[in-house]
Amino acid sequence: MAWRGRPVYRGPTLAEPPRIYRVAELSRRLLAVIERWPEVWVEGELADVRRTGAGHVYFTLSDSTEEAKLSAVMFASDARRAKTALAAGERVRVQGRFDLFRPRGVLQLLVKLALPAGEGDRRAELERLKKKLAAEGLFRLERKRPLPRYPRTVGVVTSRRAAALFDVIRVASRRAPVRLVLSHCVVQGPDAPASIVMALRRLEALEDLDVVILTRGGGASGDLGAFDDEDVARAIARCPVPVVAGIGHEVDATIADLVADVRAATPSNAAELVVPEREVLLELIASAERRLCRALEVRLAEERLALERLDGRLRDPRHAAAGVRRAFDATRLRLARAAARAIALARARSPRRAGSGSGGRFRASSFARGAASVSPSPNARTLRFPSPRRGAPR
């Protein structure tokens, strides 16, 4: 008689054996699943921090509310760009992806970015400020001003005790003699934004100011917060001369860097961009002198050639005077002949006295300015010419 009711479990049959995985095979399958996970943000407290000789940082993230830990590693290239101190007890917010370390079977987080806890909220506010300033055109390339080629007065906005100031002084003094004017300010802390704005305003009063360097050394993300302030950004935009921002290191990007006319990777690089190199200036002067000498030589040759051409067109003044002299001699000869004819005519018309065998003798003494002067000789009698009749032309 058959039993009616619930079926009876008889266990696995020999026809369906369970799947058995090797450790390596299971690790590969787990790793394939983990690699498909997207990057995640995790917040926790650092513990068991250990640095290797290569610069890699191994640590554990602990939860403050529950008993939970997560192993993590940050490789050297990423650890150098960390925006927070990687020390035990620090509360951080990290971004990364999961990985399975198969030799030990350990699930760990490969961290790419580390920020102080609460940095996410500040970054969101920072992004909103960037969008606002970008909409106003403060980041546009069209408003960027070129740096002066040969500055004489350079303003420096930083702390008088900052290492960045000594870097700027060292580089500038090595390159070319310029006048550096320090406008002291606080570069870190809650009072830093207002201090930076006042330092920029003090420099604006200098009439011979050519360019401004706004600088400070590197630091954590929170240390550079003053250069992400809206008032600082607007003060940079209002500055009447170009502003070079040399804030932190090359990986540090602040709003001040975006508003400034030129961004430098480091404070030393800012000085290199502003102050020209002495050797380059001397070479430029020497090159200009050579060009000027060549141009002067060409101009002198052209003027010499023009002078020679003019000289060839001029005649010898002695030749010109010879023609005038010949004309003068011919005129004098004609005048002498005319005077001789006049004397002869006068002699022929004058009455002769009886007994005078020789007749009147006259001598032409001189002929000048077209007139002849006749004087009687010592042996000649005085000639009296009849007076001209009244009304006759003289």
Encode pLDDT of 87-123 as tens digits. Answer: 888 888 899 998 888 888 888 899 998 888 765 567 7
User: Residue 235's pLDDT is what?
Assistant: 95
User: Which whole number is the average pLDDT over 299-326?
Assistant: 80
Predicted pLDDT of residue 284: 82
Three-class DSSP category at 374: strand
Query: Measuring CA to CA, which residue among 97, 107, 90 is closest to residue 75?
Result: 97
Report the distance separating Cα 133 and Cα 143, nearest Å.
Answer: 13
231: how many CB neighbours lie within 10 A of its CB? 12
Closest CA to 62 of 104, 109, 123, 102: 109
Helix (H, G, I), strand (E, B) or coil at 248: coil
Reported pTM:
0.51
Query: Average model confidence (pLDDT) for the chain?
Result: 81
pLDDT tens for each residue of 316-363: 677 767 778 888 889 989 998 998 888 888 888 876 544 444 444 444
Alpha helices in 46-104 (DSSP H): 76-79
Residue with tokens 């350079």: 154
pLDDT at 42 over 80: yes
Gyration radius of the chain over CA positions:
56
- pLDDT at res. 220: 64
The full set of domains in the chain, from first to last, is: 31-116 (2.40.50.140), 141-276 (3.40.50.261)
State the Cα torsion 88-94-96-100 to the nearest 10°. 30
Please tell me the predicted confidence (pLDDT) of residue 101.
81
Q: Are the CB atoms for 59 and 50 separated by under 8 Å?
A: yes
Quote the pLDDT of residue 374: 45
**The amino acid at 286:** A
Residue 291 to residues 19, 284, 286, 297: CA-CA distances in angstroms?
Answer: 89, 11, 9, 10
Contact 253, 284 (CB under 8 A): no
Query: How far is the C-alpha of 287 from the C-alpha of 264, rounded, in Å?
Result: 30
User: Which tokens is 299 given?
Assistant: 């101009």
